[in-house]
Structure 1
Amino acid sequence: MSKELKTGIVVLVIVVGFIWGFNFLKGQNLFDGNKRYFQVEYSKIGDLTRASFVTINGLKVGKVEDIKFNTSQDQRGHLIVRFSVDNDFEFSKNSIVRIYSPNPIASSNLAIIPSYEGETAVTGDTLQGEMEESLFTSIGERLDPLQTKVESVIIKADTLFSGINKVLNEQAVENINVSISNMAAIVKDLRLTVQNVNSLVADNQENLKITIAKTKEITTNLSSISDSLTTVNINNIVKKAENAVDNFNTLSKQITSTEGTIGKFINDKQVYDNLEAATKELEELLRDLKLHPKRYVHFSLFGKKAKPYKPAEEEGKKEKD
């Protein structure tokens, strides 16, 4: 055997050994003929990598071989994970491949949740996938909306404080200080007023007691009067008042009628005319008595006769003649 042939064989063995060792370190056994390949599709894979393990019930049975994007129109953007299973453990196509994280700081792995109902899965089949939320992923998903809200609140608070800074200029601050000073003065005056009221009440406490006692006595008397009023026969009083009103109505009717002296005196015109004529004659008699008293009272020592009475009209005519 020539040296060139020996050298080529050694180089070939070294290359094969290097390839086998490299894949062995990655968990791949090139001489294992029982390896099966499956694929599963996810909308997101977390921190799953090509070096992630595949387990069944916690036992490592394979590894992730490849991760690529789905280029179809319907599922564009989804990720297709291709993984291998070295173990000859059989499960059906209804099994679920779940992405999980063994601990908070480790990368994610694949766990096959085996199902034994239905057709047995073979190389090239696509299995159903789901993702188990890790602690940090769950916290992150819950904190993201909260972060958005906090940022919105901070922006609004910044806008509010900007508006307050615009409103609270030097003049406004001075006015607020003056208002606070005025309020302090008002509170002080109120305190003095309350103290004066307390002093007034303390000084007039005896008078207040007497006033309250008299008020109580007046209330008692009013109560007694009220009790007395309740004993009065209101019905009899009302009945007597009604009788008085009836009598007054009867008297009024009699006065307005032509019967009786008062009715005739008020309503009969002839009576009124006679009364007026008598009054006029009485007036003339009194006037004549005043002007010629000797006609009515005669006193003479010599027996002279009194002049006969003549009406005032005849006397006036004689005087003119």
Structure 2
Amino acid sequence: MVREVKVGLLGILGIVILYFGFTYLKGSEIFSTSNTYKATFKDVLGLEVSNPVTFNGVNVGRVTNLYPQFDKSEVIVELTIDEDVKLTDNSFAILADDGLIGGKLIKLKIAPGKLLEEDGNLKSMLEVGLVDVMQQKIDPTLKNVDSLTRTLTRIINEFDHTGQALKILLASATQSSDGVNTLVANNSKNIGLVTANAATLTKNLNALALNLDEQIKPILTKTGSFSDSLSALQLGTTINNLNGTVKNLQTMLNQVNAGKGTLGKLAGDDSLYTNLDRTAASLNLLLSDMKVNPKRYVHFSLFGKKDKTKK
């Protein structure tokens, strides 16, 4: 009988130890009272049950459950928080990174407001962690590195093509050099003749230049004599005389315009023009009358003059 009692007590003790151990492993305080709250997130980003809940870096609770809401595409997170923590309806549950390893935790941000009852809903928020910031910075860098890698690959490929082109060019240059050497060897005699002819031509050109120099010198001498003759013509005196003549002519024209002298009177007096015009008109009348009545002015007879009047 005593033995059976001992076995029963040991079994009960094992169950109690198992319960408290499981509760401890879940992150719940065994001998402390706590309250339960909820917060809703679109994405928990790897948050798990038993992850810590902190306030200003102090652990004040645990995540006890996650309830996916498939119809609303969201997740309800159940939080168990120490009874000493007084939350308000303006408090936030912030999903944040737990260090650089990649774990998640819930941070509490308590703001003044009405006291939140147990099982109340906290406002939710996502915190941009260090890993996210580093990822935002690294992503453009990785894109630049990828672009640089592609550019280097393209340059290397172009160098390969350039190297092949250089090989072909060097081979062509070698063939051209060999061809030139062969051409020079085959035509060495002709090249010697061309060189000799060029030397002879140079000598002939030099002799021609000397002859031209001797012929040009007398021409230059005559040119100098012609220049001296032009200087001896005393062009200055001739130009001065011409200027005097022009001045005299100008003086005479001024006198004519002023009505002085015979030419001046003829040029300035209209009576001469009037008399000449009248004389021309009378002469025209006379000529017209002579054409109409020529007998009045001209008398011609082979037998002598007759009387104008009849008896």
> TM-score, normalized by length of structure 1?
0.46
> TM-score, normalized by length of structure 2?
0.47
